[in-house]
Amino acid sequence: AQYGHNRYPNVVTSIELERLLSQSGPTKGKLMRASDQKVPRSVAFLQCVGSRDMKRKYCSYACCMYALKEATLIKKLQPEIEVEIFYMDLRAFSKGYYRYYQQAKEMGVRFTRSRVPVVKQDFKTGDLLITAAAEDGRLTKRSFGMLVLSVGQTPSPRFKELAECIGVKLNEASFCET
């Protein structure tokens, strides 16, 4: 709620964005804002939403890579859209993942290390106003046409029961021990 999901129409989750970018989705793969059905001039991704806080101290690892995938897809489909990813730590550690990050940068995706504490809406334009803390601690305010929340993953409440039934060990965050 602090980021405006279900309150501001141009704030979507990564899963909702995935549906919008799909050729079989409601906009036939063209990215458009819910508020006015216009193509956003800019899109911001907020990483680590719902994780890495006091309740969920872990990183679910997949969020960075699906944000990179969605950001590069936006740039491929609509290169005129400015895309920026706000992140705490970028987890691109598996085989070929760093190369994918480099490709996104080459395509014009911007990366800003910052935990975004505040999102508001400009009710005249429908744009989202983001207050971001820079690495040096200063606050900056930016405006984006659309905001994507890269939501952290959590195991289903019944997953622990299933894991016990099939003999799979879980780690402290209730994910499969690897």
So what's the pLDDT on residue 148?
Answer: 96
So what's the pLDDT on residue 56?
Answer: 66
pLDDT over 70 at 142, yes or no: yes
So what's the pLDDT on residue 95?
Answer: 74
Q: Which two tokens stand for residue 53?
A: 């806080």
94 three-state secondary structure: coil
Strand partners, 131: 118, 141
Q: Which two tokens stand for residue 158?
A: 């019944």
Give the amino acid at 36: D
61-78 pLDDT, tens digit each: 677 788 999 999 999 999
Position 171 confidence tier, pLDDT thresholds 50, 70, 90: confident
13 three-state secondary structure: strand
The C-alpha atoms of residue 134 and residue 70 are separated, in whole angstroms, by 24
87-138 pLDDT, tens digit each: 887 776 677 788 888 999 999 999 998 888 889 999 999 999 998 887 787 8
So what's the pLDDT on residue 97?
Answer: 80
Give the amino acid at 113: R
102 three-state secondary structure: helix
Spatial neighbors of 54 by CB under 8 A, at least 6 apart, are none
19-70 pLDDT, tens digit each: 999 999 999 989 999 999 999 999 999 987 766 556 666 666 677 788 999 9
Averaged pLDDT, 11-16: 94
Phi, psi (5° rounding) for residue 83? -125, 130
Q: Which of 4, 27, 118, 114 is nearest to 74 (CA)?
A: 27
So what's the pLDDT on residue 53?
Answer: 59
